[in-house]
Every structure is written in C-alpha cells, then in structure tokens.
C-alpha cells in the first residue's frame, strides 16, 4: 500500500515472501522490522528528477500472519514508531543555518486484513487478500504541515495472488505475482498495483535470496491536489512508480531468522527518487 511506499518500497516491503501459500491453522509468521529512506531528490509530476531539501522517513514495525484455518490467515502491519525529519537548511555562501531542521514522531498508518487461499493444486496456489488501511499516522505535522507519518485517509486494498513453488536441482524455488486495486478516500485517487517476485533457497536451505518488481498506477480520479509533491512526499496524491528490489534472509534455526532488503523506484511521479532500506528479525511457526 502507498502508506509504506509499500511496502515497499514497502505496502510495504515487507510482507512475507510466501504470501500465496496460507499458513495453516495455528501457524504464523511474525517480523520486527526497521525501514529507512533518506531523500534529497524526487520524481516530479512529469517524471523528471528534481532536487529537494533532504528529508528522512524511519519506521519500526511489526508484521504478522496467523492461520485461523487451513485456508484463512489474519494479516496485520503496525508501524508502532514512525519518524519524519528534515535537515537544517544551510546557506551555500556562508554556511550559516537559514532554517532549522524539524522532526515529528508518532505511530504510522496501520494495515489490517485477511488472506484467503481459494486454490491449491500440485505446485500452484492462489489467494485473495483484503487489507484495510487505517489513518492512524500524522498527516499534517511540523511548522508547515508537510511532515507526515501517514496520509490521513482510510483505504481498502483488494488483491489476487498466484504462486508457484518447485525445486531447481535440490534447491527450493518460488515465483509469484499479484494484481490489486486500492480504493482511497478523502479525495485521493484510486490505484492499480502489479508485482512479481521470485526467490531461491541456498546453503543447506538456510539462506533465501529474492528479487521483486512493483508497479503502482494512479487512476487520476481524485480531487485532492498533489500536496507536498515539491518534497517528493511518499503520502501525496497521484503517486506512481516502478520499483525494483532485492531481499536476503538467513535462518539461524528452523523458525528464527534475520533479513535485509533494498528497494528503489527506477521511474515515477510525485515520489522520492532515492533507495530505501529495511532490516528485520522474524519468527516462522510451521
């Protein structure tokens, strides 16, 4: 979802790689993550890259999936600490501070939902996911109202997901794709979202490496101006992007591991033009 650049650039990032395969009753996946973006340039509404005052976004979050049945999972993303900050603005001639930096700290926008597996046969699996984006973050902080840890709107994101798992030699491998529609309120335009991801398990099934691509397209049907677009806000209206990312995770035991990831928009409109980074620790109960 756009609240997480998302994740991903967040919605995200950070959802478990095997989302098409339901967890199973009583099983779960739980992850504590840190996400960081420092941006000194952004894509304009024409797709050109322009500079801006350096701003940072930082989240500490919890993500969880819990299987209430063999086919139905509860899903939740809670950014329990979110920070938006801007560096001091300095004179290029004297080096003196022209404007003091600012920062706000709050909870971010929470996502809650369900994932339902409606098809599974041989190596294929398909599911539908509904996520509700709650406007729990700050959408108008700071002296000028442009510091944000959320977008201030309640959205509903519905997606269909298809996945395939197999082995290459004796190495586990998967590929998956999704298509989704994000209904946004408060004058924001709705969005279409697409993505693909694949991963392979190496080194005695301890190490996963995966690559992903995500696309978000605005339907341009809202009536809200592209607020904060001069700063490349990740919460503005009519944001669009095509992003590429990689993630690696290592399992210390059968259930506990760590992960690191990197995402960047290679093209876009009204969004930051810098990479974001994430790292976390997870518990996978099977």
Q: What is the pLDDT of residues 210-227, one digit of tens each?
A: 999 999 999 999 988 655
pLDDT higher than 60, residue 3: no
pLDDT higher than 80, residue 194: yes
Q: How much is the pLDDT for 95?
A: 66
pLDDT higher than 70, residue 19: no
Please identify which residue in the block is written with the tokens 């760590």: 258
Element spanning 159, H or E: strand 155-168
Question: Tokens representing 233?
Answer: 């806000």
Q: What is the pLDDT of residues 245-272, one digit of tens each?
A: 999 999 999 899 999 999 999 999 999 9
pLDDT higher than 90, residue 22: no
CB atoms under 10 Å from CB of 255, counted, come to 12
* Across 150-156, average pLDDT: 95
**pTM, rounded to two decimals:** 0.90
The radius of gyration of the chain from alpha carbons, rounded to an integer in Å, stands at: 19
Looking at the DSSP assignment, which residues form a beta bridge with residue 56?
Answer: 38, 85
* Across 32-38, average pLDDT: 96
pLDDT higher than 70, residue 1: no
Coil, helix or strand for 141?
Answer: strand
Asked if residue 99 lies in contact with residue 144, where contact means CB atoms within 8 angstroms, the answer is no
The set of residues, in sequence order, having a beta carbon less than 8 Å from that of 139 and lying 6+ positions away, is: 148, 149, 150, 151, 152, 235
d(CA 125, CA 162): 6
Domain range 2-285, its CATH number among 3.30.70.870, 3.40.50.10860, 2.40.128.130, 3.40.50.1100:
2.40.128.130
In eight-state DSSP terms, residue 88 is P
Q: What is the pLDDT of residues 105-140, one digit of tens each?
A: 999 999 999 999 999 999 999 999 999 999 999 999
Dihedral angle sign, alpha carbons of residues 223, 227, 230, 233 = negative
Q: How much is the pLDDT for 155?
A: 96
CB atoms under 10 Å from CB of 256, counted, come to 12
Nearest to 75 by CA among 118, 120, 18: 18
Look at 72-81, 110-119, 201-210 and tell me which has the smallest mean pLDDT: 201-210
pLDDT higher than 60, residue 12: no
In eight-state DSSP terms, residue 223 is -
d(CA 52, CA 3): 21
pLDDT higher than 50, residue 82: yes
Look at 12-26, 84-98, 188-202, 253-267 and tell me which has the smallest mean pLDDT: 12-26
% of the chain surpassing 70 pLDDT: 88
Nearest to 162 by CA among 200, 132, 197: 197
Asked if residue 178 lies in contact with residue 148, where contact means CB atoms within 8 angstroms, the answer is no
Q: How much is the pLDDT for 167?
A: 92
Query: What is the rounded average pLDDT for all residues in the chain?
Result: 88
Question: Tokens representing 223?
Answer: 């009536």
* Across 155-178, average pLDDT: 94
Coil, helix or strand for 80?
Answer: strand
Nearest to 61 by CA among 12, 113, 134: 12
């Amino acid at each position: 979802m756009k609240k997480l650049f998302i994740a991903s650039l967040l919605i995200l990032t950070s959802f478990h790689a095997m989302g098409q395969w339901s967890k199973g009753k009583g099983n779960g996946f739980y992850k504590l993550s840190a996400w960081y973006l420092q941006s000194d340039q952004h894509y304009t509404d024409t797709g050109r890259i322009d500079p801006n005052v350096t701003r940072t976004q930082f989240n500490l979050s919890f993500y969880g999936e819990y299987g209430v049945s063999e086919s139905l999972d509860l899903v939740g993303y809670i950014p329990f600490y979110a920070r938006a900050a801007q560096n001091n603005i300095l004179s290029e001639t004297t080096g003196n501070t022209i404007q003091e930096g600012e920062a706000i700290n709050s909870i971010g926008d929470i996502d809650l939902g369900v994932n339902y597996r409606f098809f599974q046969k041989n190596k294929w699996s398909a599911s539908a996911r509904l996520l509700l984006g709650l406007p729990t973050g700050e959408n108008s902080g700071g002296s000028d109202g442009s510091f944000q840890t959320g977008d201030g709107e309640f959205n509903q994101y519905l997606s269909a997901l298809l996945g395939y798992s197999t082995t290459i030699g004796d190495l586990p491998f998967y590929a998956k794709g999704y298509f989704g529609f994000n209904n946004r309120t408060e004058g924001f335009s709705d969005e279409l979202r697409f993505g693909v991801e694949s991963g392979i398990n190496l080194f005695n099934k301890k190490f996963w490496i995966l690559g992903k691509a995500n696309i978000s397209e605005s339907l341009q049907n809202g009536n809200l101006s592209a607020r904060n677009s001069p700063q490349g806000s990740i919460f503005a209206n009519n944001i669009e992007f095509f992003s590429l990312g990689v993630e690696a995770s290592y399992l210390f035991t059968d259930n506990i591991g760590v992960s690191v990831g990197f995402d960047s928009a290679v093209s876009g409109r009204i969004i930051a033009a810098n990479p974001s980074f994430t790292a976390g620790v997870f518990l996978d109960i099977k």
